[in-house]
Amino acid sequence: MTKKLEEEFNLPPLNEVLKESTDAPEPTIEETTTEIQIVNDALSVTEKINDAFKQIKGLDDHETEMDDVALKAIDSYEQLMQLGMNVSDMAAGKVFAEASNMLKIALEAKDSKTRAKLQQIDLMIKKARLDKTKNHNESDDPSTLSPTKIYDRNELLRIIKEG
């Protein structure tokens, strides 16, 4: 780096920056192994989620379709921007407005992919919760469960009034 660049951007001299980075203490073996364990745990969770997504039919189709829409919208945006630069100022406003709409469409397409994945995760969590409660209820001894009472509307209203 030259002195002029350092002065222009108010940067410290390169020698000082390099000296500071070498003066930093090296992490201990324990810190490094802890960090590696955290990263491995996060990767295993990510792999589990990706494996679960592979079982869902239609999600890949949705992703590819949304990627195609986003790419087409970005291409249209670039073409409209070039066109807007080459037309009169009076017409350029509408062209640039449509170009911004293309970017909005691209963003919504990418967002749709994420939203679909989050909905699938939410449904998988709800299914797991239902399965857990179902298994818990089935494992209980039937003789210990209290019998279910069935009330009609009038009885429920009477109970609410009294309580």
DSSP string, 62-108: HHHHHHHHHHHHHHHHHHHHHHHHHS-HHHHHHHHHHHHHHHHHHHH
Find, among 113, 110, 103, the residue nearest to 75 by Cα: 103
pLDDT in tens, 59-96: 678 788 888 999 999 999 999 999 999 998 888 889 99
pLDDT at residue 118, as a whole number: 83
Residues of the chain whose pLDDT is less than 50? none
pLDDT at residue 143, as a whole number: 54
Domain boundaries, the chain: 57-135
End-to-end Cα separation, the chain, in angstroms: 81
pLDDT at residue 150, as a whole number: 79
pLDDT at residue 79, as a whole number: 93
The residue with tokens 């939203």 is 115
pLDDT at residue 115, as a whole number: 87
pLDDT at residue 123, as a whole number: 82
pLDDT at residue 142, as a whole number: 53
pTM, full prediction:
0.45
